[in-house]
Structure 1
């Protein structure tokens, strides 16, 4: 391909993208909350500011350096930072299974902040992990979770779930002693069904896609007999709050 043709094609592509981007708002959904306090580009700074204090104990679940270097240990230099991961590696202090998280910290002081980014989708039983986080977090402590709502399949076969903001609120709900500070989504995606989809769906636009989902919560109380916590015994209203399933129009 000669340089002139290549330059022309690139120009056409840029023009097409510029025109398409003017209609990106069409793919948003008005009832989907966007994260503000802990959006994808803000959550680290926020956690460092509230957590980096003398005497604080910080636990990161999924701390191993996989996609790049971590600066968490430096940013939490005034606190006690503990990196936890399923595999040993850089920035990992404790190796273990998050589904049994509390067993690795028996007899230790509880944490002031427990957080995890881009990991919850890889936990086989995230509802169990939520209970384990409640066990190791002190009353008044903060939990932060960032995961994916709509994202490419990755790290298979251990890519188990995608989470909406409401899904995270259910996992870390009043039933487990949590109070939501903020939950929402970040980074909207423009999507459509491909030409390989079923005939009635081919090339149709898909609205309401967002890459990241975030939950910021505070533990406000300990749950009695949490070692025997059973989701099946929880009343539905205690996890969905005052919301209702929409009636068909």
Structure 2
């Protein structure tokens, strides 16, 4: 009898889990791409695979260990790894302001890979940081940015922005010399308006929430004297357009 009960509970648990997954799928947005290579659990191992080689130079922007140790120097032990952060600490080689990133390195000093994880939401002027990254990245080099689309308020008062995949593509567009390899989201969130919201919103579901947004790109061209002010809208949004009124 006990064996049969355990079997029924196991089956019921499996069915419930399946039903929950199907329910959660209803909170996804069909027009939002899910990251693969750059997905939260995948991007770091991908960078190690392509970057942990002799002669490769790696720069991490926002390298200080905040939530735990991940041994970046050991993971890139066959390459030259440089950690950059606003504060000194574990895994930090250069201390400075990311908005002036290139000023901390020699004029001809370039990197093969530049990456930043969970930091772009803390940059007050991320468009300037994107330009600084472009200055330091070799043509043919790879940039990886992982940040947040929907996430809890944290590290205030310096919690400035949240990003969609399209927002990251605008920051690292062809106008700045980049080609997008992949841009998307990962780690969907199931949400609803709380009972503290305005009355007409209470308990209504909120769909299309994702914790992480990611951009993986390659620098294909050196852009001299780049200026955001000189760009047209089409230069950064490409062949996309705002949805037309119905």
- TM-score (ref. length: structure 2): 0.91
Residue 215 in structure 1 maps to residue 215 in structure 2 = yes
Task: Report how far residue 22 of structure 1 moved.
Answer: 3.6
1:178–1:218: 8 Å Cα contact kept in structure 2? Answer: yes
1:205 corresponds to which residue? 205
1:230 corresponds to which residue? 227
1:105 corresponds to which residue? 105
Runs of 4+ in 1 over 3 A off after TM superposition: 17-22
Q: Please, what is the CA RMSD of the aligned residues?
A: 1.4
State the Cα deviation string for residues 164-214 of structure 1 (Å, max 9, x = none). 000000000011000000000000000000111111111100000000000
Aligned ranges 1:3-14 → 2 under 5 Å: none
1:245 corresponds to which residue? 242
1:70–1:91: 8 Å Cα contact kept in structure 2? Answer: no
Residue 69 in structure 1 maps to residue 69 in structure 2 = yes
Could you tell me how far apart the structure 1 residues matched to 2:244 and 2:234 are?
17
Could you tell me how far apart the structure 1 residues matched to 2:20 and 2:110 are?
50
Could you tell me how far apart the structure 2 residues matched to 1:224 and 1:129 are?
16
Task: Report how far residue 21 of structure 1 moved.
Answer: 4.3
- TM-score (ref. length: structure 1): 0.90
Task: Report how far residue 107 of structure 1 moved.
Answer: 3.2
Task: Report how far residue 46 of structure 1 moved.
Answer: 0.2
Task: Structure 1: state its 5+ residue gaps.
Answer: 1-13
1:141 corresponds to which residue? 141
